[in-house]
Structure 1
């Protein structure tokens, strides 16, 4: 769960880990023009800065940071570099990072359009966890936010499971769009995410349904204490491992949630173990096969399969899936949908016969967004629903 930077002497074959004493995982790398070090990008405490590392001394310096994610590296001969950056409220633009650290945006592809859109307010909140740690949680407040009114909220459950909740921009799971629909969005950097050290990142492996789920509930309980959060109308949404999270929370949320949405999620880890094309990952993260009774890690993983808690399901749930998904087969969603209906729980399912693990085709994406917000509005905005019914 840690990407490291190695330099190899081509003559001797000796390899040196430049990041041996650095506790974070590396994304992109690029040589500095003088060949004495490298630039790299890494998740770091909820954002994604640009760093440099000296190949001889292994000293690491922050080159560019802010309330944003940098997403590319193109070094220039003078030691500066061209990069892209984005945030939860703005898609990518090119920028120039000068040798003194000054950052200048060099394109304005989206400036005119963004000027016409009211964006949410993004807050960084530190939430105490059940094991005495502090968890960085992003909270997005709707545009034209009125703190004198009650607002419904959404818990965003990240996939991966080791995928950062940084200042990411997405055309699918867009937190700014969710906030623009009138929802307060709660996006925790729960256990298992990069950017907070290898221990935090690796903790989730072998502990599905464990501390990371308690982290989710801690974030919800912390934020819903605010007077402007409608604690009776909070939803939970997520895809992939986020879908697993929603299915697991469906049986373990103690009535915190008024509705749920799971996309491409794992419902039955035993069948998932034998269905997925990503076998090495299942062996590592689940601890091994479910038939190995002598393996306590595997047995704990499979005992926490969401389908084990269906007897407690009582919350309306929307399930979406793509039939070309070979990571997590659509049968997982179909099982969850049938389980909800057999339990008498309000449920809908949307299956895309021409999509894989992600909904990528434009018209499909529009349909997905419409169904997504229709379901949330139905259960989390009672006043709006009363108007529709009348």
Structure 2
């Protein structure tokens, strides 16, 4: 097995412990200040890779992203391209190498409101400053560029009564603002998504082309007008000639069920044609082939109470520009690699159109795979213990670039060969060096009650051994369809390792990367195989001499919080529980979450009756830290409030004292994202663990006193 951390085997224990003490992972402020890399775009000539680097602003209360250029050859150091207080979001390149990005920073040529929405900016390939080329009152959302023609396709949120001009939308927004109106009249479900309200505006599709004049703006023309839901969460691609766009189309049908169809849009006329639509399937993540004839996509067989569904990689003919939707004659898709039991991400075509490059969770990693379109043959290109993302390929097909991360390494740019199996990536010179984690990473295996092989990552302090075993934290991932295989800034195990804990990162039933039957083991039965798998892997970790089985805690967020709640009602083996953004009463959750149409397919009355943690709270004796954000619409705050009442009404003694605590964030969402709140989250969690797991005196974090 390849160790994901820096090799420190020849360093004396005392030196390693000194390094751990001075590590940025031992200081929460230093940790928050670590730069964070994300996103990747490649110029058409293949000479420039651009990525986003997130850093703290001067007040250390917000992260700001700047764009950096990385040399694909690996020879030159990375150089910074943008700088602003608002930050930038990576978009794409035009055919002449102009970099397009979005930013809400003020336009120096149009002074006014500094709090305006994100506009589309253009940075020329040679000397010159970035300038605004398109702005809309509702901001610029999705942006993609036709490879040959240079047509730019964008989405922009627009109020329903506005015509196709920006001025009309601005007038209506001003009327609402002046009237102090924030109300939204909904006429369909859903009404919100993650941490944001849906409406009253909705995305429209617009197209334009930059002129040859360096000062020319992108004159946007509306292609698709107001539709209540169609372009929400759209994933858009455009043919190289700029004639046709393909996008997911959010369709609302009976019983307030939402599903994704796939449509093509003639960008000259706005004529829309439904390519793929089926009440039992969803069509997602489209990518048009280089010759414009075919679309690669994901096909999702929708779940039922007894079936988790399945994602398959497929291709479908695009059809002719100008064909109009007649409501019945759709194209047919062909599954690619039908025997491959993995769920891939969004596909990327090779320039010759013969293969697709994808990433997929697989056995606790997320390699890059090459899938031959004709034969379906699958080749795993990367062979290390890493997770890859943001795959791009050079126009000549000679090189593949991606961001590589791992449980023990944050994202960094790398270069790959497009055909060599199980290769070692070539690391490029990114904007910042990777921090050295304060410990080592090993793999733990076990066997489920039904004989299924199980595995987990175990992060250990360097000094942990049989004489100094480390207390154990069981960290349960969310999803539930997910895997511990990549770096996490929000749940970073190395912060706990720097404080002397071992952290177990298990993949129980429902985890991705082990095949559909592994998911099926826990589908609709969250309290069965997922729970017993977690305990089996915990038993295996505790059997090690370098782990202290007498000092343990269980922690999880979202679905991981559900499992933490299930643990609370079913065992007292842990000294403490931390449950973040957790599902607690499934009967109320299924109807109040932002995506009830999805969850109701699994949460049948029988499932909620047998697997809801709130039925077992009377057996809950473990001290618990409950954490929740009020802007969490995926797992609404009512879950935490009900859990808190049930614990408080059961465990508060005659002096008004109980062993539990509730960390509440009025303005955070499913994740705790702002740096100051993230620091408080970690401080409170570590104080709670120190008190109950290590036996130390309780110390309230300074800013919470």
Q: Same fold (TM over 0.5)?
A: yes
Using the TM superposition, name which of 314-323 and 344-353 deviates more. 344-353
Indicate the residue corresponding to 2:541 in structure 1: 223
2:476/2:556 contact within 8 Å kept: yes
Cα distance in 2, alignment partners of residues 326 and 153 from structure 1: 32
Cα distance in 1, alignment partners of residues 397 and 343 from structure 2: 27
Cα distance in 1, alignment partners of residues 641 and 699 from structure 2: 32
Work out whether 1:7 is the aligned partner of 2:315.
yes
2:444/2:540 contact within 8 Å kept: no
Deviations 1:310-365 (A, max 9, x none): 11111100001010111111121122122222222511001111111111111111
CA, structure 1 residues 81+337, in 2 after alignment: closer, same or farther (shift >3 Å)?
same
- Aligned ranges 1:304-323 → 2 under 5 Å: 304-323=611-630
Indicate the residue corresponding to 1:203 in structure 2: 521
Instruction: Give the TM-score normalised by the residue count of structure 2.
Output: 0.51
2:363/2:513 contact within 8 Å kept: yes
- Counting helix residues as a fraction of each chain, which structure ranks higher? 1
Indicate the residue corresponding to 2:567 in structure 1: 249
1:46/1:164 contact within 8 Å kept: yes
Using the TM superposition, name which of 101-110 and 59-68 deviates more. 101-110
Cα distance in 1, alignment partners of residues 548 and 671 from structure 2: 31
2:383/2:424 contact within 8 Å kept: no
Aligned length: 372
1:89/1:119 contact within 8 Å kept: no
Deviations 1:165-203 (A, max 9, x none): 22x111111122222221111111100011000111233
Cα distance in 2, alignment partners of residues 125 and 152 from structure 1: 16
Cα distance in 2, alignment partners of residues 48 and 80 from structure 1: 19
CA, structure 1 residues 177+387, in 2 after alignment: closer, same or farther (shift >3 Å)?
closer
Find 2:645's aligned residue among 327, 338, 362: 338
2:552/2:576 contact within 8 Å kept: yes
Find 2:365's aligned residue among 47, 50, 59: 47
Cα distance in 2, alignment partners of residues 178 and 386 from structure 1: 17
Indicate the residue corresponding to 1:90 in structure 2: 409
Cα distance in 1, alignment partners of residues 358 and 310 from structure 2: 14
**Residue 135 of structure 1, CA deviation:** 0.3
Indicate the residue corresponding to 1:296 in structure 2: none
Cα RMSD (Å) = 1.9
Cα distance in 2, alignment partners of residues 207 and 40 from structure 1: 30
Q: Does the residue aligned with 1:173 lie in a helix, a strand or coil?
A: coil
> Which 5+ residue runs of structure 1 have no aligned equivalent?
291-298
1:47/1:67 contact within 8 Å kept: yes
Query: Max radius of gyration: which structure?
Result: 2
Find 2:444's aligned residue among 121, 125, 147: 125
Q: Does the residue aligned with 1:66 lie in a helix, a strand or coil?
A: coil
> Which 5+ residue runs of structure 2 have no aligned equivalent?
1-308, 320-329, 652-657, 701-705
Q: Does the residue aligned with 1:122 lie in a helix, a strand or coil?
A: strand
Q: Does the residue aligned with 2:442 lie in a helix, a strand or coil?
A: strand
